[in-house]
Amino acid sequence: MKNNLKFNKGDCFIKTVQVTNEMILGFADNSGDKNPVHLDESYASNTIFKKRIAHGFLVGSLISAILGNDFPGEGTIYLSQLMKFKAPVFIDDKIDVQVVILSFPKGKQILLETKCINQNGVVVIDGEAIVLPPMGSILIQ
């Protein structure tokens, strides 16, 4: 774990992840969410999406992975997450997961803008998170 990380308002981190069929199947198995819109091509073809879509929380979990592993990083404690699901994510979509520091609302908390944007520039998830950064972090107002 890194010590004495410095964070400033406006700092940004972006990571691109491709959503695969294997991820969707694994998420369905692990979460128990077996909704046929995620798993059954025939069923999904009769929905407004016309094909299978990824679970919203699968895509949302990409935010969690960044917060705990990359930015702010190992040791981060998730306090809250607001997510608005704006558009579907399909198999093989490439998602830019973007995290931006908005402010330091109280104590050592960090308020983050969290967005997931597909390869066409469409925001698929828009949200905000509050986290406690790794111990020893320096927050620069």
Over residues 91-137, the pLDDT tens digits come to: 999 999 999 999 999 889 999 999 999 999 999 999 999 999 998 88
Residue 5's pLDDT is what? 86
Domain that holds residue 118: 6-18+55-140
- What's the predicted TM-score (pTM) here? 0.92
- Residue where the block lists tokens 């940004």: 12
CA–CA distance, 121 with 135 (Å, rounded to integer): 35
Q: Is 124 part of a structural domain of the chain?
A: yes
Strand 138-140 relative to strand 6-8: parallel, antiparallel, unpaired? parallel
Please report, rounded to a whole number, the percentage of residues in the chain having pLDDT higher than 70: 97
Q: Is 46 part of a structural domain of the chain?
A: no
Q: Is the pLDDT score of 1 beyond 70?
A: no
User: Is the omega angle on the peptide bond into residue 72 within 30 degrees of 0, that is, cis?
Assistant: yes
Helices 21-31, 56-69: crossing angle, 10 deg rounding: 90
Number of domains in the chain: 1
Q: Is 41 part of a structural domain of the chain?
A: no
Whether 137 contacts 7, CB under 8 Å: yes
Q: Is 60 part of a structural domain of the chain?
A: yes
Residue 109's pLDDT is what? 96
